[in-house]
């Protein structure tokens, strides 16, 4: 079948004449066999001017990156359009700041898959639309420190993986070295625990956790947030790249300006709260008690920060109410993909002057921003922050304020 591509869907797949096409771009004419509504291996008849040679040799097979065949300019326009159309769906529009994109080889946290093989172990990403694991020795996405961890991960898989099941290996770059959290492996017993601890020592892992149990803690796997150092719970949320985190923090700082009392909602382990505490008193609210405890410890051990208070609270069920937001000159809000509808309804009533909104889901962001705009807020600007380079994932920061 010959298909002309009309658009990219939200997952980055090209779509034309009702058919999904892997690895194609809008405006291209492609030919290929349709199987279950998809052309998986298209022949590109007329290439788009936005088509580039994928920088990574694994790009064709690996499911880790889906947009390596598109120019940076195309990806920026497309990601901004995803946000713009989500806003338009709610009757909103806003000025867009230029996109901030993380450079290649900066991903500091990744979830890899591992499986035992006849000859040893296989560690990598899944292939496209498949459970097959693809080894990624030339990966252009991961930070070199994560790439260097792969042989240690292979050793762990050899020791505790099976040929039928798959291990999930979350590896995070930390100040103390690799922080590794594994699930899906063999059940722990005393000999396996000892073997895993030996591997952690031999391979200089900062921390190794197995199904949530700490097997080895050689060096605290700390993260720096401004003047503070925080040791997050294993597997806890962390922005995907240091560059992405810096761009989001710069946008948040810009949004809140001179505010001296800030409430940070969905605060995680203090990515925003702790750097902002250099200039403002911060109340940080987060649903996971182990994360608020880590944030609090980080603040107590840091020098020269203003007061940071923490609160563990489910903000879906019990959003902060207007009387609890009275002191806040600005709010930072960074919810999970589901957004923060209940909390935004309470913010609309509280009339906090400025809101810095960080979101990883343009659709729920647009829904929540519309709620605030209907209550009198202005959507001052939006900035796409692309820390998931070459993927269809869209992340953004925005400023909402009440007119004087």
Ligand X SMILES: C[S@@+](CC[C@H](N)C(=O)[O-])C[C@H]1O[C@@H](n2cnc3c(N)ncnc32)[C@H](O)[C@@H]1O
Q: Measure the CA–CA gap between 81 and 76, rounded to whole angstroms.
A: 8
Binders of ligand X among residues 234 to 263 (CB under 6 A) are 237, 239
Which structure tokens are listed for 78? Answer: 């497309």
* Residue 368 · residue 346 · CB < 8 Å: no
Q: Site map for ligand X, 51-90, x if CB under 6 A?
A: ----------------------------------------
Distances (CA, A) of 55 to 213, 367, 390: 38, 36, 11
* Residue 124 · residue 62 · CB < 8 Å: yes
* Residue 371 · residue 387 · CB < 8 Å: no
In this complex, which beta carbon is closest to ligand X, that of residue 26 or of residue 287?
Answer: 287
User: At its nearest, how many Å lie between ligand X and the CB of residue 392?
Assistant: 18
Q: How many residues bind ligand X (CB under 6 A)?
A: 18
In this complex, which beta carbon is closest to ligand X, that of residue 186 or of residue 318?
Answer: 318
* Residue 190 · residue 163 · CB < 8 Å: no
334 binds ligand X (CB under 6 A): yes
Q: Which stretch binds ligand X (CB under 6 A): 149-157, 170-178, 300-308, 310-318?
A: 310-318
Q: 395 in helix, strand or coil?
A: coil
Binders of ligand X among residues 344 to 363 (CB under 6 A) are 360
In this complex, which beta carbon is closest to ligand X, that of residue 19 or of residue 291?
Answer: 291
Q: Measure the CA–CA gap between 94 and 96, rounded to whole angstroms.
A: 6
Identify the residue among 26, 104, 184, 336 touching ligand X (CB under 6 A).
Answer: 336
Q: Which stretch binds ligand X (CB under 6 A): 123-131, 198-206, 328-336, 380-388?
A: 328-336
HEC per residue, 242-283: HHHHHHHHHHHHHHHCCCCEEEEECCCCCCCHHHHCCCCEEE
Burial of 341 (0-12, 13-18, 19+ CB in 10 A): middle
In this complex, which beta carbon is closest to ligand X, that of residue 29 or of residue 170?
Answer: 170
369 binds ligand X (CB under 6 A): no
User: At its nearest, how many Å lie between ligand X and the CB of residue 288?
Assistant: 4
* Residue 8 · residue 78 · CB < 8 Å: yes
Tell me if residue 360 is catalytic. Answer: yes
Q: Which stretch binds ligand X (CB under 6 A): 3-11, 175-183, 285-293, 376-384?
A: 285-293
Q: Which stretch binds ligand X (CB under 6 A): 210-218, 331-339, 370-378, 385-393?
A: 331-339
271 binds ligand X (CB under 6 A): yes
Q: Measure the CA–CA gap between 156 and 169, rounded to whole angstroms.
A: 10
User: At its nearest, how many Å lie between ligand X and the CB of residue 271?
Assistant: 3
Identify the residue among 27, 104, 135, 287 touching ligand X (CB under 6 A).
Answer: 287
Q: Which stretch binds ligand X (CB under 6 A): 29-37, 109-117, 189-197, 264-272?
A: 264-272
Which residues, 6 or more positions from 322, have their beta carbon under 8 angstroms from its beta carbon? 346, 349, 350, 351
In this complex, which beta carbon is closest to ligand X, that of residue 136 or of residue 356?
Answer: 356
Q: What are phi and psi of 128, to 5 degrees?
A: -60, 130
Which residues of this chain interact with ligand X, rule CB under 6 A? 237, 239, 266-268, 271-272, 286-288, 291, 314-316, 334-336, 360
Tell me the catalytic residues. Answer: 360
């Amino acid at each position: 079948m010959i298909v002309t591509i009309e658009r990219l869907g939200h997952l980055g797949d090209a779509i034309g004449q009702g058919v999904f096409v892997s690895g194609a771009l809008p405006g291209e004419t492609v030919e290929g066999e349709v199987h279950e509504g998809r052309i998986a291996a298209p022949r590109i008849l007329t290439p788009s001017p936005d088509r580039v040679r994928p920088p990574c040799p694994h790009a064709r097979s690996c499911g880790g990156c889906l947009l390596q065949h598109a120019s940076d300019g195309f990806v920026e326009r497309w990601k901004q359009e995803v946000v713009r159309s989500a806003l338009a769906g709610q009757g909103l529009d806003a000025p867009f700041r230029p996109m901030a994109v993380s450079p290649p080889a900066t991903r500091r946290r990744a979830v890899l898959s591992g499986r035992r093989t006849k000859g040893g172990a296989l560690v990598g990403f899944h292939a496209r639309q498949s459970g097959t694991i693809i080894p990624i020795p030339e990966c252009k996405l991961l930070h070199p420190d994560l790439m260097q961890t792969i042989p240690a991960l292979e050793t762990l898989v050899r020791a505790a993986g099976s040929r039928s099941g798959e291990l999930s290996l979350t590896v995070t770059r930390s100040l103390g070295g690799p922080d590794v959290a594994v699930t899906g492996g063999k059940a722990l017993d005393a000999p396996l625990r000892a073997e895993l601890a030996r591997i952690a020592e031999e391979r200089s892992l900062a921390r190794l956790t197995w199904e949530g149990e700490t097997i080895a803690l050689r060096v605290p796997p700390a993260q720096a947030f401004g003047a503070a150092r925080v040791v997050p719970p294993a597997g806890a949320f962390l922005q995907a790249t240091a560059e992405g985190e810096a761009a989001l923090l710069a946008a948040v700082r810009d949004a809140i300006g001179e505010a001296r009392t800030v409430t940070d909602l969905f605060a995680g382990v203090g990515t925003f709260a702790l750097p902002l505490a250099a200039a403002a008193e911060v109340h940080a609210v987060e649903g996971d008690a182990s994360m608020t405890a880590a944030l609090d410890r980080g603040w107590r051990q840091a020098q020269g920060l203003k007061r940071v208070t923490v609160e563990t609270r489910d903000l879906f069920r019990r959003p902060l109410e207007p009387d609890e937001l009275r002191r806040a000159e600005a709010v930072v809000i960074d919810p999970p993909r589901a957004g923060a509808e209940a909390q935004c309804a309470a913010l609309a009533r509280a009339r906090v002057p400025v809101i810095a909104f960080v979101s990883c889901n343009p659709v729920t962001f647009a829904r929540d921003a519309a709620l605030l705009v209907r209550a009198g807020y202005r959507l001052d600007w939006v900035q796409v922050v692309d820390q998931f380079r070459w993927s269809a994932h869209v992340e953004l920061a925005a400023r909402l304020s009440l007119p004087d």
